[in-house]
Amino acid sequence: MPPTSRKAARPISTGAETCLRRIRKSWDGCSDNDPSCTRKSRKKGGKAVPKRWITDTALTVVLLLLMGYSLIGETAHEWLGISMLALAVLHHKWNWAWCKSLGKGRISAYRAVQSILACLLLFSVLGSLLSGMVLSRYVLGFWTMRLGQDLAATAHLPCAFWSFLLTGLHLGLHWGSVKETARRITGIRIVAGKWTVVLRLAGGIIACCGLTAFFRNAFLDYLMMKSHFLFVPPGQTAAGFLADYLAILSMFVWIGYYGGNILRGHSGRKKVIE
């Protein structure tokens, strides 16, 4: 009998390759082309912490501390601003592939809003950093610029507060990825059942607290450029100030997260599950 001919193996489709990459990513916490993860962390797998995740966490913490200008002092504020500049550069380095993909492929409602928010956040952060460099009296006091100081003083506070607001919305749009990374690092499985309801209720309560703190701290006045000096309510401690601003940030994260889910539904994308 003639030998049975074997069929040539079919090449793996692009969709299958993408699926395999996602599976590998779920095991080691890094993608194959992710420069923010070291080769050592890929070999160990399981609970590797991507540098991108560390950078973004540090950025959020530094931004929160920067909002308490009158509580931490001018020198510390300027050093935190310098560290934020370095972290912002790292953040864009880790996400440069996303930047290069802007304008390519199908533009859904979710992707359009995500891209617009990212661009607005970039401009507000640049405005805050550049105006802070002009106004610096300690860290960059050796190159003090008298030209443009009035404009910098006018723009610095609203740029900082818009950066804070947009950071919350931006973080909320990516909250699903944040949760997945946290689950891989900690080994916690997906929370289901009554705990999902509890967590959603807790998120809603924190968002309501953030709304109260939003008006108590006259947040809208800074956004609308009605106030050029940071107002701290009488008798408020540093811990109380940070708690208020953390609640405000959480409120914008909550808005971005559920707003993103609505946009995903209109774009035909899968909603983020708790």
pLDDT in tens, 100-118: 888 777 888 888 899 999 9
For residue 179, is it within any domain?
A: yes
For residue 31, is it within any domain?
A: no
For residue 28, is it within any domain?
A: no
Residue 207's pLDDT band (cuts 50, 70, 90): very high
Res 93 pLDDT > 50: yes
Domain count, the chain: 1
d(CA 36, CA 50): 6
For residue 71, is it within any domain?
A: yes
C-alpha separations of 162 from 67, 71, 192, 205 in Å: 11, 20, 35, 23
For residue 23, is it within any domain?
A: no
pLDDT, tens digit (0-9, with 9 covering 90-100), for 244-253: 999 999 999 9
Confidence (pLDDT) at 83 = 94
- Domain membership of residue 91 as a residue range: 47-267
Res 40 pLDDT > 50: no
* For the chain, the helix, strand and coil percentages under 3-state DSSP, each to the nearest 5: 70, 0, 30
For residue 18, is it within any domain?
A: no
For residue 115, is it within any domain?
A: yes
What are the φ/ψ torsions at residue 10 (nearest 5 degrees)? -75, 140
For residue 240, is it within any domain?
A: yes
pLDDT, tens digit (0-9, with 9 covering 90-100), for 120-130: 999 999 999 99
Confidence (pLDDT) at 220 = 92
Token duo for residue 188: 């916690």
Residue 7's pLDDT band (cuts 50, 70, 90): very low
Whole-number percent of the chain with pLDDT over 70 = 76
d(CA 77, CA 71): 9
Q: pTM of the entire structure?
A: 0.75
